[in-house]
Amino acid sequence: MKLYWNVRCGSFAPEAVAAEAGIALERVRTDVRNDASAYAGLRALNPMGQVPTLVLEDGRVITESAAICLWFADLVPEAGLLPPPDSPDRAWVLRWLLFLACEAYPADLLEAYPERYTTDPDAVAAVRAAGSARLDRDWEIVEAALGEGPYLLGETFSLFDPYAAMILAWHRDPKALLARSPKLARLLDAVMARPKIAPLWDEYDLGVRL
């Protein structure tokens, strides 16, 4: 399988899941922000021109970071990155993974790229402020949902954890967020320390060393 990736992009979480599961990938770094030809080439595969984009062995193209994480976890169920279908823990992981994918991730984009979400230049600052407020509310909700940790499932690592760590690292002021969110800080610290993930964390330039 071929994964199109770039630093500080949503490909981190799928790569972290693949690393934990022992899945080999052909990696293609694609700087969609600064390389017009790379962006055009990616759009030939994914009309949204977004990273990550995964090309399966049969040629089909899979997009959306959460979907790729779920696919990788199901490919190697013995890795335990997603609880089995009959476990209530599976529903818990899916609930919070999709909360991040459908709520926190879009809020982060509103904050980071407000000009994409309005045709009125005078509204850019208001869109960014709304994204910031929404994202902070989302993290308060996740903080309240976490238990003793360090992970969502206590001592058991799941695909939710690197996904959460990735979006935490993108926060405009992650150290301030983590100072008021001790459970999130504990989760992030545990994810960064995992031997198979630590090299990726550095390669993706995610920072936030506690």
Q: Give the pLDDT score at 147.
A: 96
Strand blocks (E) in the chain:
2-5, 26-29, 53-55, 61-63
Q: Which two tokens stand for residue 61?
A: 């193209």
Q: Give the pLDDT score at 209.
A: 56
**Class of domain 2-79 as given by CATH:** alpha beta
Instruction: Quote the CA–CA distance of 80 and 59 in Å, as a whole number.
Output: 27
Q: What is the CATH number of domain 88-194?
A: 1.20.1050.10
Q: Give the pLDDT score at 124.
A: 97
Q: Give the pLDDT score at 18.
A: 98
Q: What angle (nearest 5°) sits at the alpha carbon of residue 197, between those of residues 56 and 157?
A: 90
Residues of the chain with pLDDT under 50: none
Instruction: Quote the CA–CA distance of 114 and 201 in Å, as a whole number.
Output: 26
Task: For residue 11, count CB atoms less than 10 angstroms from its CB and return exposed for 0-12, middle for 13-18, buried for 19 or more.
Answer: buried
- DSSP per position, 17-59: HHHHHT---EEEE--TTT-HHHHHHHHHH-TT--S-EEE-TTS
- Residue ranges, comma separated, of all CATH 1.20.1050.10 domains in the chain are 88-194
- Residue ranges, comma separated, of all CATH 3.40.30.10 domains in the chain are 2-79
pTM: 0.96
Would you give the distance in Å from CA 134 to the centre of its chain? 17
